[in-house]
Structure 1
Amino acid sequence: MSTTTSRVAVVTGAGSGMGRGTALAIARDGGIVALVGRRAAPLEAVSRQIAAEGGRSVVVIEDVAAVGAAGRIVEAVHAAAGPVDLLVHAAGSSSSVQNARWVGEDEWREVIDVNLTAVHLLTQALLEDLLRRGDGTVITISSLAAITPNLLGGAAYGAAKAGVRNYMTFLHTTFRNDGLRAVTVLPGEADTPILDSRARPPAPEERMNMLRPEDVAEAIRLVATLPGRAVVQELIIAPTRQRDTSIDLEISRNTGAPEGVADRKDSE
């Protein structure tokens, strides 16, 4: 099995959730991890933990969806650590309004920008690095919402995650013979901060059987450390137990609706 030792990895959304777990896992394997995110304090906390465990990291404070962010991230990583061998897209955003009937244009664009457009732009900016030795890897955290979109994740989120899954398949079919491994990880419901933006954030007892960020991080580590001759093009990881989401779906149906207007209930 290959490892990430002495390699340079970029992890977006590294300050919390799946990004944080992934960054810690890669650093424990010996890689230099560039921690990318909007907020300095969480990134610096992750960096301190990595250092305490004997690892190495670089903090890059940047909103991946901002204009010109990809170029600035690449410049910062190159200056601090050199060319990149592994790219993990863990930054994500969901809308507070899930129903396609009510979601506003600004909210729709924000979700698409973070979950899809930013993934393309940073991947594009790093493709020369990833292709240079014929053994680069790019991993994107999509979602089971890409396969079964509904009111739980919302219209914008499902569309963005389906789009990024398609984009990763494009990278796979186009660059696999150049040695690039393009991997899509599709998690089911996970106990991460993104749940707090839902119309009805799940209660603590409902989160007990969800995936944990470290579960997804371990799956990412698995596909990243396989021998270069092997690629897991897609990996689905989901909670063993499935909770009843009927209340969430019904609340999400009318969240964001104008006062006095309600959407009719259809079968999911």
Structure 2
Amino acid sequence: MTTARLDGTRLAGTQLDGQVAWITGAGSGIGEAAALALAEAGATVYLSGRRAEALDTVASRIRDAGGQALVALLDVADKAAVREVADAIVQAQGRIDILVNSAGLNVPNRSWETVDTDGWDQVIQVDLDGAFYCTHAVLPAMRKAGGGLVINVSSWAGRYDVRLTGPAYNAAKHAMLAMNASLNLEEGQHGIRACAICPGEVNTAILDRRPVPVTAEDRARMLQSEDLGATIRFVATMPAHVCLNEILISPTWNRLNIV
């Protein structure tokens, strides 16, 4: 079939036609961009997040462009709810081919001097535990199908030591890389691939929680969410025998090298 692009033109190819993708954090930012890009490539996308209105808006954009999108409201820190959503997708579609772990947050009080235990817990529970819960929930269906793809949205702060993002976020994103590597070590024999994408600064709503406000000029020079959507689509459309273990991507103007 031919799918409408979000810019109104027509897309001839449907590289992911027949595949089912589940995207967390899909109401905004990188998750939203991933959902739009994967739907444009032909996948049926399930959008998860905590804000129903934002998810419905993204789903409407996809449907209006000729794609297929469904909403599954979810707090990824709730392990029981994660299992329920995963099981519901498998029951409805018979499969989950792609999982994009994009749900993430940071807290304004993030340095060692200002972070508290509640802030630490909040970051770890969403950014790390949530990614583990979702991955753990989809693996049985992927093993049964003989393959699948997990895309973990980590960070430049997961690969390098960055002061700006704070100990909780850094720990979560470093751990996500270790989790991603262990998936490839153990699950490759079942045809399951994992890719950790490690972006530098991206112009998304998470910047609104920075202790020091980010200027519009600085935001314009960062990676944009659409850049990450295109990257995620690239990973998802690689042949099944190809595993992109990790992608490190930054804006050309990369403040994290100096901040």
TM-score by length of 1: 0.88
Q: In the aligned structure 2, how far is the partner of 1:241 from the partner of 1:219?
A: 18
Q: 1:49 and 1:177, CA in 2 relative to 1: closer, same or farther beyond 3 A?
A: same
Aligned partner of 1:203 in structure 2 is 215
Q: Secondary structure at the match of 1:84?
A: coil
Tell me which of 104, 107, 111 is aligned to 1:95: 107
Q: In the aligned structure 2, how far is the partner of 1:76 from the partner of 1:53?
A: 25
Q: 1:33 and 1:236, CA in 2 relative to 1: closer, same or farther beyond 3 A?
A: same
| 1:91-240 correspondence runs (5 A) | 91-240=103-252
- State the shift of 1:125 in Å: 1.0
Q: In the aligned structure 1, how far is the partner of 2:233 from the partner of 2:175?
A: 23
Aligned partner of 1:255 in structure 2 is none
Q: In the aligned structure 2, how far is the partner of 1:31 from the partner of 1:244?
A: 34
How many corresponding residue pairs?
247
Alpha-carbon RMSD: 1.7
- State the shift of 1:132 in Å: 2.0
Structure 1: give runs of 5+ residues left out of the alignment: 250-268
1:50-109 per-position Cα deviation (integer Å, ceiling 9, x unaligned): 111111011001111124121121133234433201100011011211212331001101
Answer yes or no: is the 8 Å Cα contact 2:194–2:245 preserved in 1. yes
Answer yes or no: is the 8 Å Cα contact 1:12–1:88 preserved in 2. yes
Q: In the aligned structure 2, how far is the partner of 1:202 from the partner of 1:121?
A: 32
Structure 2: give runs of 5+ residues left out of the alignment: 1-12
Aligned partner of 1:60 in structure 2 is 72
Q: 1:57 and 1:80, CA in 2 relative to 1: closer, same or farther beyond 3 A?
A: farther
Tell me which of 54, 60, 67 is aligned to 1:42: 54
Q: In the aligned structure 2, how far is the partner of 1:4 from the partner of 1:105?
A: 42
| Larger-Rg structure | 1
Q: In the aligned structure 1, how far is the partner of 2:181 from the partner of 2:68?
A: 31
Answer yes or no: is the 8 Å Cα contact 2:180–2:195 preserved in 1. yes
TM-score by length of 2: 0.91
Q: In the aligned structure 1, how far is the partner of 2:120 from the partner of 2:233?
A: 31
Sequence identity, in percent?
37
Answer yes or no: is the 8 Å Cα contact 1:2–1:226 preserved in 2. no
